């Protein structure tokens, strides 16, 4: 880590900030009550002391020492221990009204000196302002902290600001200009979403950055999911064996959520919201690899926006050549004047008659089942079917399609964008129903059947395996 930045201690945030907060900067952390300001700043101090050997002082004008220590224990922060090790001091200034401005400053500076603190938290500006009758007294404190403590001692400082419920702007005045960075915490009560907004940060490109976060197990930001998050090249696919009575999706976290629901004869649905820009083939890959590598037949009638070539190439490095050539069929549409493709995995349709073309799908399915003697896993882009033949034709074929999967004991995942007409019929028929959505660049999965909280999708590379991880947002 560069000397010029200080790790925020918040999972997922440093990379967005270009390493962390500028060393010796003053950061304003604002938000309604209960949005997580105290958790954020406590974690900043705790991780700073534990991971970076930077001691810290927490100055609180409204919460007693014991309340703070007790609340923070729930997050795994043992401040009592840190205090004993001389890495932390808690300055309780509840009785601030009786003190003069200068003596408050002396107290803070004294605490900092005692442990040579490199981090300071002031909780909160709002409580401080209430304690003084004249606004300039609060300003003197902030100014002095800024010029002496923050800059002179290179003590990175967080000043918290309580934004009254119902108000959106911070509205402190001058202090917002003094601050090197302004962070705003928000909570959407209806959707149970928590959001961190970076309004300003010295050294970071000026644009509003929004990041979803959770307080579960500590303050944890969900950064935008991009393919470039894969730190090392992935080389292998790790098989997850199927159970006796159920199948594995190839994603351990998803299997845990589904229990043993994925069974032969299931007709399932995966909806991908229109704004999701993460490649579909990358999302489907673990499941496809897991079936193919266990010698099962796989059929893909391509969802919109996927090409047969891209789909196949994304599987090549992870599936045994033999299985790929024999057991994979990708159904694509032939466009007028398009050249013949000689790939045995790719079957081209004309989009002329839904009857004959669904029959092609069903025939490929039974051929593969007979050949492998195992249930066949198929992915069908019903959006493609609806676009090619229209809503009525797609609906007519649906009943027979479900019956075939059930009767023959195969496994189906239909993949659609939620905007198609027959979405409701597909939802009603589905055994497992999952939804993929993107919020503030981060990717989430939500189970409708079975019902789950929003699950953040991230990629984790370890020992040449890249796994999809699902973290609940609560």
**Maximum distance among all Cα pairs of the chain, rounded to whole angstroms:** 87
Q: Quickly list DSSP for 379-445.
A: EE-HHHHHHHH-HHHHHHHHHHHHHHHHHHT-EEEEEE-TTSTTHHHHHHH-SSEEEEEEETTEEEE
Which residue lies nearer to Mg ion by CB, 88 or 291?
88
Q: Which of these ranges, 27-35, 272-280, 332-340, 417-425, lies near ligand ADP under the rule CB under 6 A?
A: 27-35
CB of 112 to ligand ADP, least distance (A): 22
Q: Which does 31 bind (CB under 5 to 8 A by kind): ligand ADP, Mg ion, none?
A: ligand ADP
Which region, judged by CB under 6 A, interacts with ligand ADP, from 35-43, 227-235, 314-322, 426-434? 35-43
Residue nearest to Mg ion (CB): 38
Residue from the set 7, 11, 35, 43 that interacts with ligand ADP by CB under 6 A: 35
150 binds Mg ion (CB under 5 A): no
35, interface contact from Mg ion, ligand ADP, none, CB < 5-8 Å by kind: ligand ADP
- Which of Mg ion, ligand ADP, none does residue 435 bind to, with CB < 5 to 8 Å depending on kind? none
Residue closer to ligand ADP by CB (options 76, 173) is: 76
Chain residues 413-452 in contact with ligand ADP, contact rule CB under 6 A: none
- Select the binding partner of residue 458 from ligand ADP, Mg ion, none (C-beta < 5 to 8 A, by kind): none
* Closer residue to Mg ion in complex, CB, 164/337: 164
Residue 438 binds to Mg ion (criterion: CB under 5 A): no
DSSP labels, 271-318: EE-TT--S-HHHHHHHHHHHHHTTT--EEEEPPTT--HHHHHHHHGGG
Q: Smallest distance, Å, CB 160 to ligand ADP?
A: 7
Closer residue to ligand ADP, CB minimum distance, 283 or 473: 473
**Should residue 9 be labelled a site residue for ligand ADP when binding is judged by CB under 6 A?**
no
Q: Which of 160, 149, 146, 63 is nearest to 108 (CA)?
A: 149
C-alpha 254/C-alpha 2 separation (Å) is: 38
With CB under 5 to 8 Å by kind, the binding choice for 186 among ligand ADP, Mg ion, none is none
User: CB-wise, 39 or 445, nearer to ligand ADP?
Assistant: 39
Rounded CA separation 43/45 (Å): 5
Of 72 and 455, CB closest to Mg ion: 72
Nearer to ligand ADP, 44 or 389 (CB): 44
- Closest CB to ligand ADP among 31 and 308? 31
Q: Determine how β-strand 5-6 pairs with β-strand 21-22.
A: antiparallel
Q: How far is the CB of 61 from Mg ion (least distance, A)?
A: 11
Which residues contact residue 181 at a Cβ distance below 8 angstroms, ignoring those fewer than 6 apart? 21, 22, 25, 26, 27, 28, 198, 200, 201, 202
Q: Which of residues 283-312 bind ligand ADP (CB under 6 A)?
A: none
Q: Name the nearest CA neighbour of 75 among 99, 125, 39, 106.
A: 39
- Check residue 38 for interaction with Mg ion (CB under 5 A): yes
Q: How far is CA 411 from CA 269, 386, 417, 462, in A?
A: 11, 21, 20, 30
Q: Residue 314 interacts with Mg ion (CB under 5 A)? A: no
Candidates 216, 343, 400, 460: give the one binding ligand ADP (CB under 6 A). Answer: 216
Q: Which of 24, 31, 223, 303 binds ligand ADP (CB under 6 A)?
A: 31
d(CA 467, CA 474): 22
Q: Does 36 bind ligand ADP (CB under 6 A)?
A: yes
Q: Residues near 133 by Cβ (< 8 Å), separated by ≥ 6?
A: none
218 binds, among Mg ion, ligand ADP, none (CB under 5 to 8 A by kind): none
Q: Which stretch binds Mg ion (CB under 5 A): 36-44, 65-73, 107-115, 325-333?
A: 36-44
Give the nearer residue to ligand ADP in terms of CB position, either 100 or 189.
Answer: 189
Q: Which of 1, 4, 33, 202 binds ligand ADP (CB under 6 A)?
A: 33
The answer to whether the beta carbons of residues 236 and 470 sit under 8 Å apart is: no
Given the DSSP bridges, would you call strands 193-201 and 465-472 parallel, antiparallel or unpaired?
unpaired
Chain centroid to CA 454: 9
| 38 binds ligand ADP, rule: CB under 6 A | yes
Binding of Mg ion by 41 (CB under 5 A): no
How many other C-beta atoms lie within 10 A of the C-beta of residue 230?
13
Sheet with 26-31: list strands edge to edge. 88-92, 56-60, 119-123, 156-162, 26-31, 181-188, 193-201, 209-214, 220-222
Q: Which of Mg ion, ligand ADP, none lies near 274, with the C-beta cut-off 5 to 8 A by kind?
A: none
Residues 434-446, buried b or exposed e (16+ Cβ, 10 A)?
Answer: bbbbbbbbbbbbb
Q: Which does 368 bind (CB under 5 to 8 A by kind): ligand ADP, Mg ion, none?
A: none
Whether the Cβ atoms of residue 31 and residue 166 lie closer than 8 Å to each other: no
Q: Please state, in angstroms and rounded to a whole number, the distance separating the CA atoms of residues 242 and 263.
A: 10
Binding ligand ADP (rule: CB under 6 A), the pick from 10, 16, 26, 39 is 39
Residues that bind ligand ADP (CB under 6 A): 31, 33-39, 74-75, 215-216
Residues that bind Mg ion (CB under 5 A): 38
């Amino acid at each position: 880590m560069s000397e010029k930045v200080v790790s925020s201690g918040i999972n997922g945030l440093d990379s967005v900030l270009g390493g962390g907060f500028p060393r010796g900067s003053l950061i304003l952390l604002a938000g309604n009550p209960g949005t997580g300001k105290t958790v954020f700043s406590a974690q900043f101090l705790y991780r700073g002391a534990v991971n970076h050997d930077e001691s810290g002082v927490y100055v609180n004008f409204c919460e007693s020492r014991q309340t703070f220590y007790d609340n923070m224990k729930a997050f795994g922060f043992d401040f009592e221990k840190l205090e004993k090790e001389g890495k932390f001091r808690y300055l309780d200034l509840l009785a601030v009204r009786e003190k003069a401005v200068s003596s408050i400053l002396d107290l803070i500076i004294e605490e900092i000196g005692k442990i040579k603190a490199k981090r300071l938290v002031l909780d909160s500006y709002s409580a401080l302002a209430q304690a003084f009758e004249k606004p300039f007294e609060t300003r003197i404190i902030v100014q002095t902290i800024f010029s002496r403590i923050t800059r002179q001692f290179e003590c990175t400082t967080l000043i918290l600001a309580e934004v009254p419920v119902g108000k959106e702007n911070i509205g402190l005045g001058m202090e917002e200009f003094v601050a090197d960075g302004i962070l705003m915490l928000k909570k959407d009560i209806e959707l149970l979403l928590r959001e961190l907004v970076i309004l300003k940060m010295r050294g970071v490109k000026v644009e509003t950055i929004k990041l979803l976060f959770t307080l579960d197990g500590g303050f944890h930001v969900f950064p935008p999911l991009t393919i470039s998050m894969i730190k090392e090249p992935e080389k292998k696919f790790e098989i997850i064996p199927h159970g006796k009575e159920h199948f594995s999706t190839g994603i351990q976290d998803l299997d845990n959520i589904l229990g043993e629901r994925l069974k032969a004869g299931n007709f399932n649905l995966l909806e991908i919201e229109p704004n999701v820009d993460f490649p579909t083939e990358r999302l489907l890959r673990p499941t496809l690899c897991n079936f193919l590598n266990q010698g099962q037949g796989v059929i893909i009638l391509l969802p919109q926006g996927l090409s047969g070539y891209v789909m196949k190439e994304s599987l090549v490095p992870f599936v045994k050549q033999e299985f790929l050539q024999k057991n994979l069929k990708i159904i694509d549409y032939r466009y007028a004047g398009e050249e013949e493709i000689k790939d045995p995995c790719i079957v081209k349709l004309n989009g002329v008659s839904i009857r004959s073309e669904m029959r092609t799908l069903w025939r490929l399915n039974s051929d593969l089942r007979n050949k492998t003697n195992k249930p066949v896993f198929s992915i069908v882009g019903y959006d493609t079917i609806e676009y090619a033949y229209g809503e009525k034709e797609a609906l007519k074929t649906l009943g027979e399609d479900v019956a075939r999967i059930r009767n023959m004991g195969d496994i189906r995942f239909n993949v659609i964008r939620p905007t198609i007409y027959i979405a409701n019929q597909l939802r009603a028929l589905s055994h497992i129903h999952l939804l993929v959505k993107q919020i503030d660049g981060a990717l989430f999965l939500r189970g409708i059947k079975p019902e789950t909280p929003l699950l953040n999708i991230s990629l984790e590379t370890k020992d040449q395996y890249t796994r999809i991880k699902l973290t609940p947002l609560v």
